[in-house]
């Protein structure tokens, strides 16, 4: 007999950039009002930095900021415990502990819907359990859940397909910020008009690349310096997984595999001039995956730029390094 | 084939016995020093965690002694240790250091994957190999029992350093020991020597639990000998992580009846899920130590260690609910002795004051 209309807070950070459309559609279909925090701003980042432990990585701190921003104005926060989103893979220990970390930091802390998502052993059962858990937290059962899931899946897959085409690179509802005129179009859809532009692979976690404040809009900057950007999301799953199969041992981080696969695939493309790896200081998986990618790129002679972000990173310094990298690539091409 | 392996505290003593037991020639890397660390830091990725760097240093130093094969453990996530071997292999390749690597992974498909590697390494009839492994296990238990004795004695001995001297000598003897009887004799002798060490009577001894990532807890070079420092400050150290227990939990899957970790019982509601590494255990052990009346807890971790950052993040809730002070120390190649010493002294001062106040209140 629960027909309360929930005001549900969804922080616009971390995996919102991978599953935002799914979550929003699902909860809306279950009759909840979904409040997504605004795009990251200085205020939100400062809030997060003040709440999180100093050693956490910047995206986690930003997540704290978004959650704290929402805390006072919603009935509950949706902070899923993302253990694994595919078979035999993990995301990152910090995402496995995120709900508990927030509970210890936010005072007062609103109720947290911390559904465990664990698809590591049995993907189908794990997904079903997670969906049921999310619905149960809102007090919804039965066929409405299936309908909501179908709607969520449909929107999610349409959104994924759009990402691959390069139509809308940012998460679902920040579309208005995207000038749709092929800013981040993938290489395949560009044809001959891009002969002059250098093709640059920008690899990194989605929550860095697509968060314009946190990630300092690296794709946009590269574009303004005359580059054509290719992102991991522009590649097909098949291309990424196939490239990863050459590794001596399977990478057990979902995002690590995405980044490594994209890097391996792109460094083999003749027309890709160079790679930029965007990472956050203290990112565990990236410290190894990024280093391996850089080694492989160096062996192949593909220029590779590592940009590490933290809350002290100055934009001017970043711009200088990007400009120098792009200049070097132009000179290399004309040589 | 000359095999070597990474250092982790007294693990070398155990691994050496086991590998020699299966008939291999073993090169124990030189004990970890600043040089080991510097060698590792020079070649490892900057933001990789500390054990990867020190282990790399171990491999480079063992190479100088003629080692050609590395035996090490892997994993399947989410902690970074599972990918150490792959990264280290590429680094060694890039600097032209030729090594064969035998990495023991949790079996992906079938247990035969592990067995094949054992068969590849084994040089002797399997009965002898089993005897070697049992000897190694007995040595692990002996080291742990002596170390617990040492932890109790350090804050109480009249002249700091005497108990450590006995312990170090016992380690060397244990290394040379070839049978169960010999091991027993060494332990007995060391314990009786420790019992004779004169003690002081001034002031109460504090008890501090040490939790955290296993490498930083067990390797004195990277934690700058924190247990000895605390002993000198009059603190008895207790910890839940010991070699024998770790071997039992991880290699024998908890088959032996030793007290194990049960974070699923102790860590909630503060941390409700496994987070890789020893993060869950760190929170669970802190709760246990609070229940057992410890005066404080020190959490150790390599900088950027993901599981321990999760544990660190929930520690404020544990401190508040259980009333136990927790200090988290991240260690890396930049950690300086003076800074660590200052933090320890301040923490211990605070604990003493806290304890005095609690005692006064109870009157």
Nearest chain A residue to B318 by CA: give it.
A104
Q: Which residue of B has its CA nearest to A289?
A: B87
* Interchain contact, A96 vs B87, CB within 8 Å: no
In a domain, A57, yes or no: yes
Question: Among A119, A147, A163, where does a domain finish?
Answer: A163
Percentage of chain A lying above the pLDDT 70 cut:
90
Q: Do A53 and B272 touch (CB under 8 A)?
A: no
In the sheet that B296-302 helps form, which strands lie side by side, from edge to edge? B235-239, B206-212, B296-302, B326-331
pLDDT given at position A227 = 92
pLDDT band, residue B119 (cuts 50/70/90): confident
pLDDT band with cut points at 50, 70 and 90 for residue A176:
very low
Interface predicted TM-score (ipTM) of this complex, two decimals? 0.91
C-alpha torsion B264→B265→B271→B272, nearest 10: 60
Do A212 and A122 share a domain, yes or no?
A: no
Q: Compute the distance between CA of residue B152 and CA of residue B139 in angstroms, rounded to an integer.
A: 20
Q: Tell me the chain A residues in contact with residue B328 when contact means C-beta distances shorter than 8 Å.
A: 53
Opening angle at CA B243, ends B238 and B244, nearest 5: 105
User: Cβ contact (<8 Å) for B74 and A249?
Assistant: yes
Do A144 and A222 have their domain in common?
A: no
Q: How many domains does chain A have?
A: 2
- Which of A102, A137, A163 is a domain's end point? A163
Strands of the sheet containing A272-280, edge to edge, are A227-230, A198-204, A272-280, A304-309
Give the single-character DSSP code of A193: G
Q: How far is A140 from chain B (nearest CA, A)?
A: 24
For residue A92, tell me if it sits in a domain: yes
CA–CA separation, A214 and A216 (whole Å): 6
Q: Answer whether residue A178 shows pLDDT above 70.
A: no
Local confidence band at B258 (pLDDT 50, 70, 90 cut-offs): low
- What mean pLDDT is predicted for residues A107-117? 94
Residue A193, pLDDT score: 43
A88: domain CATH number is 3.40.50.11890
Q: Are residues A208 and A156 in the same domain?
A: no
Average pLDDT, chain A: 89
Higher pLDDT pick, A153 / B244: A153
Indicate if A98 and A157 belong to the same structural domain. yes
pLDDT digits (tens, 9 = 90+) for A224-241: 999 999 999 999 999 999
Q: Tell me what the mean pLDDT of segment A94-119 comes to.
A: 95
Same domain (yes/no): A209, A326? yes
Residue B325: burial class (beta carbons within 10 Å; 0-12, 13-18, 19+): middle
Same-domain pairing of A277 and A130: no
* pLDDT top residue among A187 and A282: A282
Per-residue confidence (pLDDT) for residue B362, from 0 to 100? 74
Is A294 among the domain residues? yes
Do residues B137 and B258 touch, judged by C-beta distance below 8 A?
Answer: no
Cis peptide before B78 (omega within 30 of 0): yes
For chain A, say whether B197 makes contact (Cβ under 8 Å): no
pLDDT-based confidence at residue A171 (cuts at 50, 70, 90): very low
Q: Is residue A95 part of a domain?
A: yes
CA nearest A296 in B: which residue?
B90
Shortest Cα distance, chain B CAs vs residue A129, angstroms: 16
- Mean pLDDT, to the nearest integer, of B7-19? 94
Is A136 a member of any domain? Answer: yes
Say whether both A23 and A154 belong to one domain: yes
pLDDT digits (tens, 9 = 90+) for B135-155: 999 999 999 999 999 999 999
pLDDT value at position A324?
A: 97
The nearest CA of chain B is from the CA of A147 a distance in Å of 30
pLDDT of residue B109: 65
**H or E element that contains A3:** none
Q: Please judge whether A282 and B310 are an interchain contact, meaning their C-beta atoms are less than 8 angstroms apart.
A: no
- Mean pLDDT score, A217-224: 94
- Same domain membership, residue A119 and residue A229: no
List, for residues A273-283, the tens digit of each pLDDT value. 999 999 999 89
Tell whether A26 and A154 lie within a shared domain.
yes
A292 lies in which domain range? 198-334
Q: Do A209 and A123 lie in a common domain?
A: no
Residue B118: Cβ within 10 Å count: 14
What would the pLDDT profile of B313-349 be if each residue is shown by its tens digit?
A: 999 999 999 999 999 999 999 999 999 999 999 999 9
pLDDT interval class at A263 (50, 70, 90): very high
More confident call, B331 vs A162:
B331
B291-311 pLDDT, tens per residue? Answer: 999 999 999 999 999 999 999
Q: Same domain, yes or no, for A208 and A65? A: no
Asked if the C-beta of B78 comes within 8 angstroms of chain A's C-beta atoms, the answer is yes
Let me know if residue A229 belongs to a domain: yes
Length of chain B: 363
Contact A287 B79 (CB under 8 A): no
**Do A249 and A153 share a structural domain?**
no
Q: Are B18 and B133 in contact (CB under 8 A)?
A: yes
**Residue B303 DSSP code:** T
């Amino acid at each position: 007999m629960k027909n309360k209309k929930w005001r549900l807070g969804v922080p616009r950070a971390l995996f919102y950039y991978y599953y935002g459309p799914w979550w929003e559609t699902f909860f809306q279909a279950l009759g909840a009002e979904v409040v997504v925090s605004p795009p990251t701003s200085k205020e939100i980042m400062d809030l997060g930095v003040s709440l999180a432990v100093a050693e956490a990585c910047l995206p986690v701190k930003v997540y704290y900021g978004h959650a704290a921003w929402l805390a006072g104005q919603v009935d509950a926060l949706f902070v899923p415990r993302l253990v694994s989103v595919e078979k035999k893979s993990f995301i990152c220990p910090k995402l496995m502990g995120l709900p508990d970390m927030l509970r210890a930091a936010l005072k007062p802390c609103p109720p947290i819907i911390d559904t465990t998502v664990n698809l590591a052993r049995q993907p189908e059962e794990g997904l079903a359990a997670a969906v049921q858990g999310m619905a149960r937290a809102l007090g919804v059962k039965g066929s409405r859940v299936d309908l909501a899931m179908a709607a969520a899946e449909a929107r999610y897959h349409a959104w994924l397909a759009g990402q691959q085409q390069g139509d809308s690179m940012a998460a679902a509802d920040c579309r208005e910020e995207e000038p749709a005129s092929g800013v981040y179009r993938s290489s395949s859809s560009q044809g001959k008009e891009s002969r002059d532009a250098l093709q640059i692979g920008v690899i990194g976690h989605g929550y860095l690349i697509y968060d314009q404040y946190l990630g300092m809009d690296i794709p946009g900057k590269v574009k303004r310096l005359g580059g054509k950007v290719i992102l991991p999301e522009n590649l097909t799953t098949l291309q990424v997984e196939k490239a990863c199969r050459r590794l001596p041992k399977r990478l057990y981080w979902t995002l690590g595999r995405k980044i490594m696969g994209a890097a391996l695939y792109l460094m083999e493309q003749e027309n890709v001039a160079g790679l930029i790896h965007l990472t956050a200081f203290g990112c565990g998986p990236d410290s190894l995956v990024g280093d391996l990618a850089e080694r492989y790129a160096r062996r192949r002679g593909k220029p590779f730029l590592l940009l590490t972000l933290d809350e002290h990173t100055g934009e001017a310094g970043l711009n200088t390094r990007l400009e120098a990298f792009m200049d070097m690539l132009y000179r290399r091409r004309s040589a | 084939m000359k095999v070597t392996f990474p250092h982790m505290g007294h693990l070398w003593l155990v691994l050496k016995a086991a590998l020699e037991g299966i008939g291999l020639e073993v090169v124990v890397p030189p004990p970890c020093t600043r040089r080991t660390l510097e060698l590792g830091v020079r070649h490892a990725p900057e933001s990789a965690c500390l054990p990867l760097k020190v282990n790399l240093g171990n491999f480079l130093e063992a190479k100088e002694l003629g080692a050609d094969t590395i035996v090490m453990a892997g994993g399947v996530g989410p902690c970074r240790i599972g990918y150490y071997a792959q990264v280290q292999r590429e680094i060694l390749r890039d600097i032209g250091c030729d090594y064969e690597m035998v990495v023991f992974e949790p079996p992906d498909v079938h247990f035969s994957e592990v067995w094949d590697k054992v068969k590849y390494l084994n040089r002797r009839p399997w009965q002898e190999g089993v005897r070697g492994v049992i000897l190694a296990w007995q040595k692990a238990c002996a080291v742990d029992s002596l170390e617990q004795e040492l932890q109790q004695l350090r804050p109480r001995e009249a002249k700091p350093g005497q108990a450590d001297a006995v312990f170090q000598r016992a380690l060397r003897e244990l290394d040379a020991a070839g049978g169960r009887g010999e091991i027993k004799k060494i332990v007995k002798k060391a314990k009786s020597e420790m019992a004779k060490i004169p003690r002081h009577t001034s002031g109460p001894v504090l008890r501090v639990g040490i939790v955290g990532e296993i490498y930083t807890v067990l390797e004195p070079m990277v934690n700058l000998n924190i247990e000895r420092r605390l002993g000198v400050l009059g603190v008895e150290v207790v910890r839940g992580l010991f070699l024998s227990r770790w071997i039992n939990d991880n290699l024998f899957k908890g088959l032996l009846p030793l007290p194990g970790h049960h974070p699923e019982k102790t860590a909630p509601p503060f941390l409700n899920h496994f987070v890789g590494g020893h993060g869950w255990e760190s929170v669970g052990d802190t709760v246990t130590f609070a229940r057992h009346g410890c005066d404080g807890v020190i959490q150790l971790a390599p900088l950027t260690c993901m599981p321990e950052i999760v544990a660190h993040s929930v520690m404020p809730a544990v401190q508040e609910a259980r009333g136990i002070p927790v200090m988290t120390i991240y260690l890396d190649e930049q950690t300086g002795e003076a800074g660590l010493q200052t933090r320890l002294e301040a923490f211990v001062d605070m604990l003493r004051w806290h304890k005095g106040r609690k005692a006064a209140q109870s009157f």
